[in-house]
Every structure is written in C-alpha cells, then in structure tokens.
Amino acid sequence: MEPTIVDQNPTHVLFPIISITLASLVSAFDVEPPQEEPVHEAILLVPDGQLDKQPISLAGFWEFYPNQLISAREMVNNPTRSLVQIPSWWPPSEGKSSIQYGTYRMKVVIPPPEQQALALYMPDVYCSYELLVNGKVVGNNGKVGSSKSESAPQWKPATYFFEPTGDTLEIIVQLSNFHHHRTGINNPLLLGRAALLREVKSRTELSDGLLMGGLTCLGLLSMILYFTKGKISFVLYALLCLSWIVRASFSNHYQIVQWFEDINWHLVVRTEYISLYLSTLFGSLLVGSLFPREVSKVFRILFLIACVGFTLFTLFVPPLLFTAYVQLYLGLSSLLLLSILVIVTRAYSESREGATLVLVAAFLAVVMFGYVIMAYQGIFPMNELFFNAGFLLQFIVTLVAIHQRVGKIDSGRDYDLMTFDGATRS
C-alpha cells in the first residue's frame, strides 16, 4: 500500500479491510444447511476425455441414508433416501446431535476410453469412513460403527487406486462420528487418472514440506537476529513460526498422520486446536512488542487469559465438547485482527517508522485468516498450494517488517504525532 493513498483518518484505510474480516466472521457463525433435491438417484456423467485433462470433483448431490450403514442392495426402495450436497455438514433435519452415522452413494458413468487405471482422492471427514467402489472396499480411515464403542476416529486424506470393471462406478461412503461436534464431508472427493492424482498428492506434500522448511529457516534466522540485536520481538516471531509449523503438521493435509498412521486421533485434534490458540497469542504479543505504546497491558493480559483458558479447556474436556466452541475462538481471533489493524493503521497514518511493512503483513494475515475461516465453513475447498504459499509469504514479509521496525522503536524518529511531547521530541 502506497503512503500517498492513506488519509490521516485511519477509517478510510480500515473500511475495506474490516469489510473482508467481518464477512469472514459472519460466514463463521451463519452457515446455511445444505440444499436438498427431490429424491432420485445421484448420477454423474463424465464427458469424453475429461479425466485425461485433470481430476474431476465429485461435489454435488449424493444419495444419503441417515443412521444406516448399508450396502447397495439395501438401498433399493429404501424410504429414508434423500439427496444431500457434498461438501456440507449433515442436515439439521437428520438430528441436531453430532453423534451420527450414515451412508452416501453416487454413480459415476465413464465412457469406454476412460476405463483405465483410476484413483479416488478422499479428504478427511468427520470422523471415520469406509470407501467402496462397485461393492469392493478400496479404503478406510478409522473404524466406522453405529455406536461410540464400535467406532474409532481418524483424520487422514488419502488417495486410493483401482481398476474400473465397467462403464459405471458405484461409489459408496459409509461414515460415522461420535467424537466431534460436526459431522459430514467438508471437502469434495476427486476422481481422476491414477497418474494425475499421484501428481496432485506429490505437489501437496511438497508444498507442505516447503512451508514447514521455510518456517524453520525463518525461525532460526529470527533467533540469530535476537542474539545479535537483543530484541524480544524476534523470539516471539520464532515462537509464532514454531506454533504454525505444528499447526501445518496437524491440520489440512494432516502430514503428521501421513508419517505416523497409528497416531492417536485425540492427540491430533487437541494439538491442532492448541496450535491455533498459541499462534494467535504469539501474534498478538508480537504486535504489542512492536508498538508498545499503542497496545495496552490490559489488552495483552485479557488475550493471554483467553488463550490459556481455551488451551486448558481443550486439554481436559472431550473433543465433542471443545470442538463445539471453536467458533467462539474464531470470533475472538477476528476481533483481535481488527484491533491489530486499527493499531498498525494508526501508526502508519502517524508516519511511525517501519509501520508500512507491518501494515502489509497485517493485511496479508487478515486475507489468509479469512480464507481459512471460509474454507473451514465449507464455502469452498481448501487449496493447499494457495494456503501454504500465502502463509509463507506472510511470514517472510512479517520478518522483514520486524527487522525494519525494531531498529526504530528506541530512536528519536519514532514519535507519536498525537502527543505534544512526542511531536516535539528531537
């Protein structure tokens, strides 16, 4: 953002930014239930040559059989059948409790030239599934059951390879959830050539590795700067990098589960949530260290108490309970980002040294945080490449901004135009 377009009134700068953040926040608390269609079979026709170009999304209407784990034979003339969209959470009409189980089905018709080695990408679901193609089990995650004692949760996006036996693929997903507040499939399945989906999987894992490797390098560089300059801001930035490395390993593609398939699901979900709390905590403390006069001690203490409270809550209560309150924390984090934007924009409008890059970094944080919230709500599927590249860019800009800013904090040039003493300081 160029200084020439910034008015002395910070609200001119904040208006579009606040609009983006509030839109994300509204999305987090006001999610429409999935649409339903008149009951008939869910069939998808694949055009000739489509699978040779790229994998196709199986988003759309699927047959849905609530509170039943059934085979194709048991679906004939089944009166409970309805059509439900994927991606979506399960419809409220099927029960408000998150303790549910059910079966999805879609038939995919492929032309003869497409009947070669295929693969299905299955995203992580809430919270266990069994995947069948033409009556054969091709993959599973966790253990599906009709009760808590019969099921076991797990989150692991996976790609399954198979040979089609005809021109019609009958895809059935049996799903159960007795452990998380939400239930359903929040990202679409993908169908494609085996080779193409292998490439997608490799790109995703490579981008995850680049993000975690990049953050590791940035964190180490920040600690080197701390030992040379002695500024606590660099330590807070390194802790922010560490917490986001943990989050990147324990969310989205769940790389930690790819490495350790038998890792405990309760450990994974608790680590995922706590890493989010710690990331926002270190981020707020970092801004406070860069603009100590603008960020009051009361603000820091209150947010510290909130983060510690959510962390303890996540550690000691069942996931079914603490996952129900993540929306509250997302709302608190949105308000935190708005406060940070007000602080940084005010500093920028007052020509505080080094505030320009901090403002850019804060804006990038708002964009990425809004993207994460909307993807979490199922408004659109998470794009791993965009997610990883966006956050890595945001962290790079942040470190450059910190390096530029800390050298000015104690200088006479870093004054506050809104105070007479500061404005007249030489």
Specify whether 90 is located in the same domain as 13: no
Name all contacts of 46-50 with Cβ < 8 Å and 24+ positions apart: 46/108, 46/109, 46/110, 46/111, 46/114, 46/191, 47/111, 48/111, 48/113, 48/114, 49/113, 49/114, 50/114
Q: With contact defined as beta carbons under 8 Å apart, do 152 and 265 qualify?
A: yes
Residue 411's pLDDT band, with cuts at 50, 70 and 90, is low
Specify whether 24 is located in the same domain as 92: no
In DSSP terms, which residues pair with 102 in a beta bridge?
A: 66, 175
Domain boundary at 188, 209, 239, which? 188
Q: With contact defined as beta carbons under 8 Å apart, do 336 and 403 qualify?
A: no
Give the pLDDT of residue 114: 58
Specify whether 326 is located in the same domain as 408: yes
The DSSP 8-state label assigned to residue 143 in this structure reads B
Render pLDDT for 266-319 as a digit per residue (tens, 0 to 9). 999 999 999 989 988 898 888 888 887 777 778 778 888 988 999 999 999 999
Give the pLDDT of residue 133: 95
Give the pLDDT of residue 181: 86
Q: With contact defined as beta carbons under 8 Å apart, do 216 and 241 qualify?
A: yes
| Crossing angle between the packed helical segments 265-290 and 326-349, to the nearest 10 degrees | 20
pLDDT, greater one: 421 or 230: 230
Distance in angstroms (rounded) separating the CA atoms of residues 297 and 318: 33
What is the CATH number for 117? 2.60.120.260
Does residue 135 sit within a domain? yes
In DSSP terms, which residues pair with 136 in a beta bridge?
A: 133
Render pLDDT for 361-397 as a digit per residue (tens, 0 to 9). 888 888 887 787 777 666 777 788 888 999 999 999 9
Does residue 115 sit within a domain? yes
Lowest mean pLDDT among 63-72, 244-253, 378-387, 412-421: 412-421
- Smallest CA-to-CA distance from 190 within 86, 87, 119, 103 is with 119
Pairing outcome for strands 43-45 and 100-109: parallel
Specify whether 236 is located in the same domain as 323: yes
3-state secondary structure of 170: strand
- Total domain count for the chain? 2
Compute the half-sphere exposure of residue 180: CA atoms within 13 Å on the CB side of its CA.
Answer: 27
Specify whether 95 is located in the same domain as 55: yes
Length of the chain: 426
Specify whether 265 is located in the same domain as 399: yes
Stretch 158-163: mean pLDDT: 92
Give the pLDDT of residue 12: 43
Average pLDDT over the chain, rounded to whole?
81
Residue 132's pLDDT band, with cuts at 50, 70 and 90, is very high
Specify whether 365 is located in the same domain as 316: yes
Q: Does 256 have pLDDT greater than 50?
A: yes
Stretch 90-106: mean pLDDT: 68
Distance in angstroms (rounded) separating the CA atoms of residues 284 and 350: 21
Distance in angstroms (rounded) separating the CA atoms of residues 125 and 144: 12
For the chain, the straight-line distance linking the first and the last C-alpha, in angstroms and rounded, comes to 28
Specify whether 158 is located in the same domain as 206: no
Specify whether 152 is located in the same domain as 224: no
* Alpha helices (H) along 30-64: 50-53
Distance in angstroms (rounded) separating the CA atoms of residues 44 and 40: 13
Residue 420's pLDDT band, with cuts at 50, 70 and 90, is very low
Specify whether 105 is located in the same domain as 219: no
Q: With contact defined as beta carbons under 8 Å apart, do 211 and 180 qualify?
A: no
Give the Å distances, CA to CA, from 314 to 183, 191, 308, 329, 367: 19, 36, 10, 12, 27
Provide, rounded to the nearest whole percent, the portion of the chain with pLDDT above 70: 83
Specify whether 322 is located in the same domain as 217: yes
Render pLDDT for 18-73 as a digit per residue (tens, 0 to 9). 444 444 443 443 444 444 444 578 899 998 888 888 899 999 999 999 889 999 88
Does residue 193 sit within a domain? no
Domain boundary at 138, 159, 188, which? 188
Specify whether 173 is located in the same domain as 211: no
Helix (H), strand (E) counts: the chain: 12, 14
Domain housing 232: 3-30+198-423
Give the pLDDT of residue 329: 83
